[in-house]
Amino acid sequence: MLSTAHLEQALLDHLRQLPSEKQQEVLDFAEFLRQKISPPPAPPTQPSLQQLASLPLSQRHQALAPFIADTAADFKTDPALTEFSVLDSEDWELPDDEP
């Protein structure tokens, strides 16, 4: 088997003798082979609720910060959630209230 340097040189020598459209085909094929052996990038994983709860508060805030604005908007616009923002406070029992 050829050493890497000799292999690269042999490939270049042969590649230079090909017309440009065939050189492009060789390049496309080499990229195809590289993609075949490279694992696809792993999708970013989000921590579970238990993992979030075990994080220090500053790290927990960093993990949740991207979702805060969307969550606040949901409470303003989602009919199923807006009822919580307008609860009737007269029905609440507060600790300082007299019976």
Q: What is the pLDDT of residues 1-35, one digit of tens each?
A: 678 889 999 999 999 999 999 999 999 999 999 88
Q: What is the pLDDT of residues 61-78, one digit of tens each?
A: 888 888 888 888 887 888
pLDDT of residue 12: 93
Q: Which two tokens stand for residue 10?
A: 């042999």
Check if the beta carbon of residue 93 is closer than 8 Å to that of residue 86: no
Task: Name the H helices within the chain.
Answer: 4-16, 20-37, 49-54, 57-77, 79-82
